[in-house]
Amino acid sequence: MVHLERIRIRPVASLDAVSVSERTLVDRGPEWNRRYTIVERTPGSDARPAPVTEERDPRLRRLETTYDLERETVTVRERGSDETATFHLDLDRECFASWLSEFLDYPVEIVRTDESGGPDAAAPSGLTVVSAETLETVAEWYDEIDADELCRRVQPTLVVGGAPPFWEDRLYGRADRIVPVEVGSTTLYGIGPSQLSGVSARDPETGAQTDGFRETFVERRRATLPDWATAVRFDHYFRLLAETQVPQASVGTTLSVDEPITVGEPVPSPTPAD
């Protein structure tokens, strides 16, 4: 049975993800996903703050973070170090920002993504989806990358079990169509294949570039694109995850691990009024 195997969220964008057993959907997707963003502080500037991502600054990859979402805390340390620091993500935001500023050697702030004017506040809600077998298959294209590392490189929100490799390519059709996806009692809309960023070409712990990662990926992805994929959606082949949107009717519903997943037939994209 095709089912939801893992839910992965990143409470602080560009830091480690955490797996949870269930998550309520809010306007921007799973609750707590990318709630906070690290931005470079530019005193005296009126420019919109620029997010500090692991692609922009690979040193973020050297940080290991764990979360207690009930207490709303993050514990952070540099990989290989025994020294940790724990911060409340609202009450201690300035202290957390100071710790990161010292680590990065330039001033940063931690901002709420959903606050007015926060970075990515206008980004569409949604989740990215991949099957566990896809991760296993793609990892085999590389000598020293396993499925867990590949998952950390490509950062899916939902990992699906009981499905064949590249099952997620069933979750989209033509650009003017959506594909209804039922996860338990929750409906998502599949909208297209997701483009991988340059982050996936880097080691998730060191940030070092993996030579030939993109070239190998593009060559093998083109060669193994399944018959059920809508090939016209691939202007290039550095794509893997399926993107989904959260319709307004699904806001407030809860996704839970082990729930069954069914995929409907493509239908015309709804208008905003729908």
- Predicted pLDDT of residue 274: 44
pLDDT tens digits for the chain (274 residues)?
999 999 999 999 999 999 999 999 987 789 999 999 999 987 766 667 889 999 899 999 999 999 999 999 999 999 999 999 999 999 999 999 999 999 999 999 999 987 645 555 445 557 999 999 999 999 999 999 999 999 999 999 999 999 999 999 999 999 999 999 999 999 999 999 998 987 899 899 888 889 999 999 999 999 999 999 999 999 999 999 999 999 999 999 999 999 999 999 999 988 654 4
**What separation in angstroms does the CA of 41 have from each of 24, 26, 58, 63, 87?**
32, 28, 18, 20, 19
The DSSP secondary structure of 92-137, one letter per residue, reads THHHHHHHHHHHHTS-EEEEETTSTT-TTTTSPP-EEEEEHHHHHH
Residue 180: count other Cβ atoms within 10 Å of its Cβ: 17
> Would you list the domain boundaries of the chain?
3-7+124-268
**Gap between the Cα atoms of 119 and 110, Å rounded:** 11
Burial 104-131 (b: 16+ CB within 10 A, else e): beeebbbbebeeeebbeeeeebbbbbbb
21 forms bridges with which residues in the sheet?
none
Three-class SS of residue 20?
strand
Please name the residue that has the structure tokens 């030579």: 211
- Predicted pLDDT of residue 121: 45
Structure tokens belonging to residue 26:
């809010």
